[in-house]
């Protein structure tokens, strides 16, 4: 009789040990999964921040290129090389529009206005006595203000 009770108690004890082992093992895997999910979310937020920084840097570089085109156009106007000035102004306008495509809504509106101002300067170059130099200087100042 004692032998059967010992066997039954042994099987109950073995079942409890196996059950606790299973619970303990599954809890470890849950904590590992939880840690992995936290690390994944942190990594995604860092990647997002880096992508935003990269986008801002690319926008800034493109705007600096547009500014350089405007300065070249200003020099071409001073040298009365209106064909070269038109090309430089078109390059500047295209660069500004490229940045406007990826910019936020407020910045997009400002850049679109600036691009249309550059287009107006291009139209002024078609006139016999172009007053475009003042317009180019204003566009450069507006771009400098946007960059700062």
Q: Can you tell me which residue has the tokens 């287009």?
A: 119
- The model's pLDDT over 64-118, given as tens digits with 9 standing for 90+, comes to 999 999 999 888 888 888 888 889 999 999 999 999 888 888 888 888 888 888 8
Identify the three-state secondary structure at position 80. Answer: coil
- The answer to whether 93 and 118 have CB atoms below 8 angstroms apart is yes
List C-alpha distances in Å: 40 to 27, 33, 36, 101.
Answer: 20, 10, 6, 30
Measure Cα distances from 2 to 5, 7, 17, 74, 98 in Å: 5, 9, 22, 107, 89
Q: How far is it, in rounded angstroms, from Cα 143 to Cα 147?
A: 6
Provide the whole-model pTM.
Answer: 0.67
Q: What pLDDT was estimated at residue 85?
A: 87
Q: How far is 123 from 18, CA to CA, in rounded Å?
A: 85
Q: What is the pLDDT of residues 22-42, one digit of tens each?
A: 777 776 667 778 888 999 999
d(Cα 32, Cα 122) in Å, to the nearest integer?
63
């Amino acid at each position: 009789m004692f032998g059967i009770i010992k066997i039954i108690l042994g099987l109950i004890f073995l079942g409890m040990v196996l059950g606790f082992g299973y619970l303990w093992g599954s809890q470890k895997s849950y904590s590992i999964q939880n840690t992995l999910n936290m690390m994944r979310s942190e990594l995604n937020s860092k990647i997002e921040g880096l992508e935003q920084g990269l986008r801002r840097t690319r926008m800034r570089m493109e705007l600096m290129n547009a500014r350089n085109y405007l300065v070249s156009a200003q020099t071409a106007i001073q040298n009365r090389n209106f064909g070269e000035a038109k090309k430089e102004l078109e390059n500047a306008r295209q660069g500004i529009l490229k940045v406007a495509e990826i910019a936020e809504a407020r910045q997009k509106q400002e850049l679109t206005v600036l691009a249309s101002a550059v287009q107006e300067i291009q139209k002024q170059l078609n006139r016999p006595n172009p007053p475009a130099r003042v317009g180019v200087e204003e566009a450069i100042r507006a771009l400098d203000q946007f960059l700062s």
